[in-house]
Structures are given as structure tokens and as C-alpha cells.
A and B are shown apart, each in its own frame.
Chain A
Amino acid sequence: MPLDDKDLEKYLREFQPRAVRPLGSSQQTAIPWMGRLAAAAVVLLSVSGGLWYARHKSNMPRAGVKLETFRGEVPVEERRPNAILLTKLALEDPKRFEEQLEAESQHILPDFGGQQSTLRILTKE
């Protein structure tokens, strides 16, 4: 190891600063370009994932389909009464609420009276 200043200076000068790229050539443009590529890949993955999920979901059997096949009617979920309106009705006019509940139950509960009723089908099975 150099002991005096002159030798140390000489030793230090043997190290050279790392070379730089030619003037005017840009390395900075590589970063936004890569960023745009990464963003495009993320968008592509999101869209394809979304499409796959939508397709997969459309192939899955929905709740209520089974009941529809039994009854040949519209699925139960689509006929579900509005809970807020029913609550309001129960508070304001209990008699009408009872009537409304009875009327709704005709659609909501499985049909046991018809030829294609759930009860008959289950009995046959």
C-alpha cells in the first residue's frame, strides 16, 4: 500500500472512471418503453382474465335453475318481494301486510297443487 502522498496519488490514478455511452445515445427511453410494455401486459392479462371468468361463470349452473326445471316457472330470486316495502307495510298497515304476504307466498313457496308440482315429482321419485 502506498505510504506517501505521491505514491497514493499515483495509485489512485491507476483506477479509471467507468466508460460512458456515446453522446446523444439515450438510455432513458428504455425505461418508459419497458413501463409501457409492462402496462400493456397487465391490461392484456386483466382483460383475458375477465373474459375467462365471464365465460366460466356463464357456463356454471345458477341457483334457481333447478327449481325452474321443477316448476317450469321464473326463478325464485327474480320474484323475491322488496323487504323494505314489506317492512314499511307491516309497520303502517298490518292487515294489508298479511294479505301481501299471502299473495307473495303463492309465488315464492313451491307449488304443491299443480300437475307438475314439486311434491308430485318428489313423490314419483
Chain B
Amino acid sequence: MNKFTPELVKALYEQHGAALAAYGCCCGLDFGSAEDVVQQVFLKLLQGTLREVKAPVPYLYRVVRNASSNQRRDRRRETEMPGGEFCFTHPTVDQAEVISLQDALRSLPEEQRETVFLRTWSGMTIQEIAEATETPLNTVASRYRYALEKLRERLRER
């Protein structure tokens, strides 16, 4: 079991904060709200109000996912990924290509978008994603496969 010491919390924020905020965007929040959600989650960890867990990273994604859903429900937002703002950056390509990627992600069904996001940017394995999202392993694997196929199609169209 991992206890959320201040050092661990800060290290996790440094390493996963940006990806968790982008994940909040994938869960339907605008970037500012997603950033706030991530901040609140980590501040709770620092205050010691969240329990100790076996796998901190999948746990963090699960907590951010639930908090994003709650916030979206409170604000009565749609479940699609918000457009018109940047959740991603790229060191070399222009902004149009970043928007293309975001549009392609936004066009995916929510479960597939979540799966491809977790696999690509959180560094989680399919097994960890299955645990984090409380979904059968085979379902996660097929969602990921379908998501990649659709992404390839959408990105090729652009």
C-alpha cells in the first residue's frame, strides 16, 4: 500500500498533473475546470483526506474521472470533449494539427476516448486501465483497438 505523503503527492502532481487535467478535458470539462478538479484532488491528498492505495496512478485517474463527472453533472454539461481550446501541445507541429488531434479525439465515443487517452498519455497498461475504469480487460482491449482505428481514419481525413 502507498501512503500519500506530501513528497509523493508533489511528485505525482509533477509527473501526472498535466495528463490528469487533459484527461478531465476528455471527460467533458473545459481546461480551466479540469485544472481546478486536479488541484482539488491533489490538495485533498495533501490534507490526508484521501485513503492510501495499492496503485496511486490508476487511483488518481479514477478520482479525477469521478470528480469530473460530478462537476459536469452539477453544471449540466454535455459529455463531449470541449472544443475551441487547447488541452494538448506539440513541440514542432502547428496549432491546426493540435486542433485536428483534439477534434479526432472528440469525435470518439466517450469510453473509447477515455481508453486511448489513458493508454497513450497516462502510461497505464490495459490491465491498469481495466482496474481504474472498473471495466473487463477484454472490453478495454477492444475499446482501445477500435479507438485507434477510428483515430487513424479521422486523422487521415484531415
A residues adjacent to B (C-beta < 8 A): 1-3, 5, 8-9, 12-21, 23-24, 26-28
Nearest 5 pairs between A and B by C-beta?
A17-B22, A17-B18, A15-B88, A20-B17, A17-B19
The residue on B at minimum CB distance from A16 is: B89
Which residues does chain B contribute within 8 Å of A17, judged by CB atoms? 18-19, 21-23, 87-89, 121
CB-contacts of B44-79 with A (<8 A): 46
B residues adjacent to A (C-beta < 8 A): 9-10, 13, 17-19, 21-23, 31-32, 35-36, 38-39, 42-43, 46, 86-93, 98, 101, 116, 119-121, 148, 151-152, 155-156
The residue on B at minimum CB distance from A14 is: B90
- Please name 16 further chain A to chain B contacts, defined as beta carbons within 8 Å, in addition to the given A17-B23, A20-B35, sorted by A numbering: A5-B148, A8-B148, A12-B151, A15-B89, A15-B101, A16-B88, A17-B19, A18-B22, A18-B88, A19-B89, A20-B21, A21-B35, A23-B10, A23-B13, A23-B46, A27-B35
The residue on B at minimum CB distance from A3 is: B152
Q: How many A-B contacts if CB must be within 8 Å?
A: 74
Which residues does chain B contribute within 8 Å of A24, judged by CB atoms? 39, 43
